[in-house]
Amino acid sequence: MKRCHLLIVAVVLGCFLVPPASPVSGGAVENAVVEARMLEDLKYLASDDCEGRGINTQGLNLAADYIAGKFKEAGLKPANGDSYFQPFDLNAGSKLIGGGENNKLTLKGPQGQTVELELGKHFTVLGFGSTGKVAAPVVFVGYGVTAPEHQYDDYAGLDVAGKIVVVLRNVPRQSAREGLVFPANEGQINRHARMDSKASNAEVHKAAAVIFVNENQNVAQGTDALRSFNETAQSFDPIGIPVLHVRRSLINSLIRSQTGRDLSALEQEIDRNVKPSSFPLDGWTAELETKVEKSITPVKNVVAVAEGSGPLADETIVIGAHYDHLGRGERGSLAAGSKDIHYGADDNASGTTTLIEVARRFGNQPGRKGRRIVFIAFTGEEKGLLGSRHYTTKPLFPLEKTVAMLNLDMVGRLRDDKVQIYGTGTSKDFSDLLDKLNDKHKFKMSKTAGTQMLGGSSDHESFNRKNIPTLFFFTGNHPQYHRPTDTWDLINVEGMRRIAEIVEEITLALSTTEKRPEFVRVTGPAPTSGSTTMRGPTLGIMPAYAEDDKQEGVVLDGVSPGRPAEKAGLKAGDRIINISGKPVKNMQNYMTVMNGFKKGDKIEVTIIRDGKEQKVTIPLE
């Protein structure tokens, strides 16, 4: 059925006008029809046939074909020439070839020293790196972090092009004794602390190879353990240069010969001042060789377009949702060892289904006035936002003319009308627009100015990094997250239909208002962002994501099955305010306190439930 919309063509006092109600939201009968077709889409995407839409499954291709077919039925045109697909390759795993005869490392000093290192004893090759043969000077680059949001850059003033960089693992002040600089979420790790992110940053700075060395805290917890090739071979975003991990004692001798100081003292100075201390290791060179064979898997985004007309037609709005999930228990599964299908009904068949529904409302409208609307079902989100990163690297429509991006990820569990929207501060107009539209929809909106939720993000982040205003819609976490139990029968389809309606109206407003949204970079530590690694035992809590909650404590959105929190009777809505006499004002406090315990300890957790304090004793596992 062709849908007609009353177009908005003006701006009043610099604010977006609110579009009229969509015809699809008018009556119970039509709402039931919409929900029935959305349920049909959802059930297929979360079916056995789609095999959890894992990267290495045929089900992922079936899902892509299904989405493309629905885009075509909706009247949308293919965005990539005559194809709805934007293909690219990703690394589905790596294999080390030849052992020590093909993987070598020799250090050479300014006084003619030559130190030949042994694979497996003195160094390892990391699986997310690449084959290479390099002989080059060595440069110490501290933690190897470039973080403009924290005014910190280990590469500032250095030219490492064609050189081998030595990088400490983790980030400054990871233990929080002197105040966290890169705060963390339970069980998560800040992107700046990830070894593959550090290696990627080195590659961006044109380094020829990376040598990792363990930092103080890692060494203090036991032996100077080296990461193995196999445990790093499943990176889906491979680095194009060799990456090695070397014993700290060997690198320490290089540092001492250059500075007269131990690596520990240098590291402590960086942590204390949160100021980089990077320098060339004059006279030291390294000769290395690696041989890594990568298993390349072809994947594809699904991209369709509803063209606009008139003076705004050359500008673009993107609406996106990722359609991949975890297959039969790929990396990221929270069901340890399970090879059952991870159906991913909420994550993210719900967002993909809602994307298809919004697409139906803009298809088959020849001559529609306003900006073009591009609909993208991203792949590779679970492997590191790879599909959206590919699109923003090789966009099918110019990014400089892309005025906004709306992202739908896990929108299938609407409860008590609560919807969380991130990125409301990325344009000064967004918050008012949402409030005006919500007068009709009556959602209980939790608006967060920044783009990152606690412990991670989604595909909108790739666009935010390109200075494009973004809104991210999310209905909250749940115990089935990243488990085989995330099935279609637990989805609130009516809630998805309601979210489709408000997204349609937001899109209509953004597509027709003459003034494009002005991008605002949300700076400073996001109230819901993470992370260094949480090194103590965990309770298995799922924190609620709500910027507008001004009370102290950590509110639970749920608890993980079989974990200490569930066993002790904690549940969604509980607010943790104290652990064993130590106040918990926020998530950072929670992590700091928990890092002081070990498995086997018993802790007393004070919660507020229904307005009353309760104390619960929890054994840590």
**Confidence check: pLDDT of 585 > 90:** no
Ranges 4-13, 98-107, 474-483: which has the least confidence: 4-13
Give the pLDDT band (50/70/90) at residue 235: low
- 211: helix, coil or strand? strand
Give the pLDDT band (50/70/90) at residue 158: very high
Give the pLDDT band (50/70/90) at residue 221: low
Average confidence (pLDDT) over 122-134: 95
- At 523 the pLDDT is 59
Q: How far is CA 85 from CA 230, 320, 381, 436, 450, in A?
A: 32, 14, 16, 36, 31
- At 180 the pLDDT is 65
Q: Which residues pair with 532 in a beta bridge?
A: none
Find all residues with CB under 8 Å of 324, minimum gap 6, and list them.
53, 54, 55, 60, 299, 348, 378, 379, 380, 381, 382, 383, 387
**Confidence check: pLDDT of 20 > 60:** no
- At 579 the pLDDT is 92
Nearest by Cα to 14 from 522, 521, 513: 513
Mean pLDDT across the chain, nearest whole number?
87
Most confident stretch, 33-47, 548-562, 598-612: 33-47
Whether the Cβ atoms of residue 556 and residue 576 lie closer than 8 Å to each other: yes
Q: Which sign, positive or negative, has the C-alpha torsion 24, 28, 31, 33?
A: negative
Ranges 37-46, 373-382, 566-575: which has the least confidence: 566-575
Task: Tell me the pLDDT tens digit for each residue of 490-532.
Answer: 999 999 999 999 999 999 999 999 999 999 988 543 333 223 3
- At 191 the pLDDT is 73
String of DSSP letters for 164-185: EEEEESS-TTTT-TT--SS---
Give the pLDDT band (50/70/90) at residue 26: low
- At 419 the pLDDT is 96
What is the rounded CA–CA span in Å between residue 501 and residue 443? 12
The residue length of the chain stands at: 621
- 321: helix, coil or strand? strand
Task: Tell me the pLDDT tens digit for each residue of 60-73.
Answer: 999 999 999 999 99
Nearest by Cα to 549 from 393, 423, 429, 445: 445
- The predicted model scores a pTM of 0.69
- 52: helix, coil or strand? helix
Give the pLDDT band (50/70/90) at residue 209: very high
Average confidence (pLDDT) over 557-566: 79
For residue 416, the number of C-alpha atoms closer than 13 Å in the C-beta half-sphere is: 7
- At 510 the pLDDT is 97
- At 224 the pLDDT is 86
Of 547 and 113, the structure prediction assigns the larger pLDDT to 113
What is the CATH architecture assignment of 98-290? 3-Layer(bba) Sandwich (3.50)
Whether the Cβ atoms of residue 128 and residue 290 lie closer than 8 Å to each other: no
- At 174 the pLDDT is 73
Of 545 and 276, the structure prediction assigns the larger pLDDT to 276
Give the pLDDT band (50/70/90) at residue 237: low
**Confidence check: pLDDT of 178 > 60:** no
Domain limits, the chain? 11-91+298-512, 98-290, 541-619
Average confidence (pLDDT) over 162-190: 72
Same fold, 98-290 and 541-619: no
Average confidence (pLDDT) over 200-212: 94
Ranges 90-104, 185-199, 384-398, 600-614: which has the least confidence: 185-199
Q: Is 39 exposed, middle or buried (0-12, 13-18, 19+ CB in 10 A)?
A: middle
- At 88 the pLDDT is 92
**Confidence check: pLDDT of 25 > 80:** no
What is the rounded CA–CA span in Å between residue 337 and residue 498? 37
- At 621 the pLDDT is 82
- At 532 the pLDDT is 32
Give the pLDDT band (50/70/90) at residue 377: very high
Question: Which CATH topology does 11-91+298-512 take?
Answer: Aminopeptidase (3.40.630)
String of DSSP letters for 250-299: HHHHHHHHHHSS-HHHHHHHHHHHT----EEEEEEEEEEEE-EEEEEEEE
Task: Tell me the pLDDT tens digit for each residue of 431-481.
Answer: 999 999 999 999 999 998 888 765 568 999 999 989 999 999 999 989 899
Alpha helix segments (H runs only) across 74-194: none
What is the rounded CA–CA span in Å between residue 408 and residue 348? 8
Average confidence (pLDDT) over 90-111: 91
CATH of 541-619, picked from 2.60.120.10, 2.30.42.10, 3.30.365.10, 1.10.3210.10, is: 2.30.42.10
- At 9 the pLDDT is 29
